[in-house]
């Protein structure tokens, strides 16, 4: 709450001291942004998430403080249990000192692989994958990075962050404090081809927690190294994207009652096929093969989803998604899901 008030004050000061703070200039430099998504979902089994809900209710502002500096603040008004809480998500400053350099600082989407760096508002698959939900819960990091364009086709990105995403179940645990982590990525973009390589390296901090019987325990800090390679190729009207993610981390599932006390090797393969016969219609087939511990059997998860998006207008999208989950060793659990969503951006 205090953080939101301070950011609100910061935005107010930026606006008041900006040359734009007068009549028409203010309208030009302050942009109200947001999105509203309502959806109906049905998941097999007793999941407790069926029926109608407000999935997204984002509201914020983007302030052009001067020719080089932009401040973006975005709040999710449908966060928390039952979608009845308010939560700050985007809160960052963008500074462009020259034509080839951009500096980002604050809380923002992690500049890594596609599923974690893209806003959920425009995500091809409608919902984030298992890898992101497990190791980058919330998808946002706190810190900053610099993007430097070497030439029209190649860009380097380097940053320093709090090592845990802001919704990591062990971030705010009693006695837990996130360490720092660094990110480095290379992005290549030429015509219809995009290639990216990079990763995050740091430590997952120690944790004072309790075992399932309620006994206190100390979980030591561990490696947190997650790397990725990504290739996207577009041949109109088809786009193919493949992401390979690998590394080592301690699985944070369980939060303050952790299921895992040491780090393990992880591996994920994402494959997307996106077909757009017209600007109004988009069909997305996505496959995620997620293995949070390559040395232990029984926890691999294979998710296949098919999504259809219809754009009534550029900012209005109707979506239908079906996903099928196959657990380790071909096991079938009744947890397939159907989602029907309507989204409006402004």
How is 187-206 classified by DSSP, letter by letter? EEEETTEEEEEEEEEEEEPP
In angstroms, rounded to a whole number, what is the distance separating the alpha carbons of residues 273 and 269? 14
So what's the pLDDT on residue 174? Answer: 55
In angstroms, rounded to a whole number, what is the distance separating the alpha carbons of residues 279 and 73? 30
Would 46 be classed as within a structural domain? no
So what's the pLDDT on residue 24? Answer: 40
Would 169 be classed as within a structural domain? yes
C-alpha distance from residue 273 to each of 128, 319, 333 (Å)? 16, 16, 26
Helix, strand and coil in the chain, % to nearest 5: 10, 60, 30
In this structure, of 95-109, 136-150, 328-342, the range with the lowest mean pLDDT score is: 328-342
Does residue 111 carry a pLDDT above 90? yes
Give the model confidence (pLDDT) of 291-335 as tens digits: 999 998 888 999 999 999 999 999 999 999 999 988 876 556 778
In angstroms, rounded to a whole number, what is the distance separating the alpha carbons of residues 111 and 42? 32
Average pLDDT for the chain: 88
Q: What is the CATH number of the domain that holds 179?
A: 2.40.160.10
Does residue 147 carry a pLDDT above 70? yes
Give the model confidence (pLDDT) of 157-212 as tens digits: 999 999 999 999 988 655 556 789 999 999 999 999 999 999 999 999 988 888 77
Please, what sign has the CA dihedral across residues 147, 150, 151, 154?
negative
Would 195 be classed as within a structural domain? yes
CB 62 within 8 A of CB 72: yes
In angstroms, rounded to a whole number, what is the distance separating the alpha carbons of residues 280 and 278? 5
CB 317 within 8 A of CB 290: no
Taking alpha carbons only, the member of 174, 178, 194 closest to residue 186 is 194
Which residues partner with 87 through β-bridges?
76
- pTM, whole model, 2 decimals? 0.87
Strands (E) in 179-300, as ranges, are 180-190, 193-204, 207-210, 216-219, 222-235, 238-249, 264-278, 281-291
Would 68 be classed as within a structural domain? no
Would 77 be classed as within a structural domain? no
In angstroms, rounded to a whole number, what is the distance separating the alpha carbons of residues 120 and 271? 18
Would 61 be classed as within a structural domain? no
Omega before residue 237 within 30° of 0, cis: yes
Would 32 be classed as within a structural domain? no
CB 74 within 8 A of CB 62: no
Give the model confidence (pLDDT) of 12-45 as tens digits: 434 434 443 333 445 689 999 999 999 999 887 7
CB 264 within 8 A of CB 252: no
So what's the pLDDT on residue 332? Answer: 67
CB 170 within 8 A of CB 207: yes
Q: Which domain holds residue 209?
A: 99-345
Would 230 be classed as within a structural domain? yes
Structure tokens at 84: 């009845």
Question: Cα torsion at 126, 299, 116, 136 (round to 10°)?
Answer: 120
C-alpha distance from residue 291 to each of 138, 160, 269, 322 (Å)? 20, 27, 9, 22
So what's the pLDDT on residue 208? Answer: 84
6 pLDDT tier (thresholds 50, 70, 90): very low
CB atoms within 10 A of CB 318: 13
Domain count, the chain: 1
Give the model confidence (pLDDT) of 247-275 as tens digits: 999 999 988 888 999 999 999 999 999 99
So what's the pLDDT on residue 48? Answer: 58
């Amino acid at each position: 709450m205090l953080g939101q008030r301070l950011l609100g004050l910061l935005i107010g000061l930026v606006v008041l001291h900006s040359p734009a703070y007068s009549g028409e200039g203010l309208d030009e430099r302050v942009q109200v942004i947001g999105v509203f998504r309502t959806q109906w979902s049905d998941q097999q089994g007793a999941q407790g998430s069926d029926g109608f809900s407000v999935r997204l209710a984002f509201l914020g502002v983007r302030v052009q403080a001067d020719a080089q500096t932009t401040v973006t603040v975005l709040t999710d008004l449908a966060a928390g249990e039952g979608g009845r809480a308010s939560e700050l998500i985007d809160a960052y400053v963008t500074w462009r000192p020259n034509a080839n350099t951009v500096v980002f600082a604050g809380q923002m989407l992690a500049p890594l692989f596609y599923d974690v760096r893209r806003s959920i508002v425009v995500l091809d698959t409608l919902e984030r994958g298992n890898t992101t939900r497990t190791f980058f819960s919330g998808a946002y990091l706190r810190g900053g990075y610099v993007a430097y364009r070497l030439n029209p086709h190649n860009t380097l990105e380097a940053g320093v962050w709090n090592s845990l995403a802001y919704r990591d179940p062990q971030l705010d645990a009693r006695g837990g404090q996130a360490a720092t982590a660094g990110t480095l990525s290379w992005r290549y973009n030429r015509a219809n081809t995009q290639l990216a390589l990079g990763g995050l390296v740091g430590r997952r901090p120690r944790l004072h927690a309790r075992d399932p019987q309620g006994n206190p325990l100390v979980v030591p800090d561990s490696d947190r190294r997650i790397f990725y390679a990504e290739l996207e190729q577009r041949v109109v009207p088809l786009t193919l994207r493949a992401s390979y993610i690998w590394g080592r981390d301690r699985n944070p599932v369980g939060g303050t009652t952790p299921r895992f006390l040491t780090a393990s090797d992880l591996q994920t393969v994402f494959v997307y096929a996106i077909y757009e016969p017209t600007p109004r219609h988009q069909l997305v087939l996505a496959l995620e093969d997620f293995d949070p511990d390559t040395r232990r059997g029984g926890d691999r998860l294979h998710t296949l989803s098919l999504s259809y998006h219809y754009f009534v207008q550029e900012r209005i999208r109707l979506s239908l998604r079906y996903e099928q989950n196959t657990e380790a060793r071909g096991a079938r659990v009744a947890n397939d899901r159907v989602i029907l969503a309507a989204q409006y951006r402004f």
